[in-house]
Amino acid sequence: MPLLGLQKLNRHVYWLPPDDRTDRPILGAITGERATLLVDAGNSPAHAQLLVYFQI
């Protein structure tokens, strides 16, 4: 099954839908000019790394 893609809500807000296969929760990020805030980085370092993978 393909990886669920990152969804853009607006210019600065992104979310990654949950994945029931891996029990991954919704992941969120708010981007700025100099930094990105991970609003919900998930249940493990691997979940946070997944957001980094998308290079938002």
In a domain, 2, yes or no: no
pLDDT at position 30: 94
In a domain, 14, yes or no: yes
pLDDT, tens only, 17-50? 988 888 888 889 999 999 989 888 778 888 888 8
Distances (CA, A) of 34 to 3, 12, 20, 30, 38: 28, 12, 33, 11, 14
**Sign of dihedral through CA atoms 50, 40, 4, 43?**
positive
Range of the domain at 34: 7-53
Q: What is the pLDDT confidence band of residue 13, given thresholds at 50, 70 and 90?
A: very high
What's the predicted TM-score (pTM) here?
A: 0.74
Helix locations, the chain, DSSP H: 45-53
Q: Please count the CA atoms within 13 angstroms of the CA of 25 that sit on its side-chain side.
A: 10
- Is residue 13 classed as helix, strand or coil in its secondary structure? strand
pLDDT at position 43: 81
In a domain, 1, yes or no: no
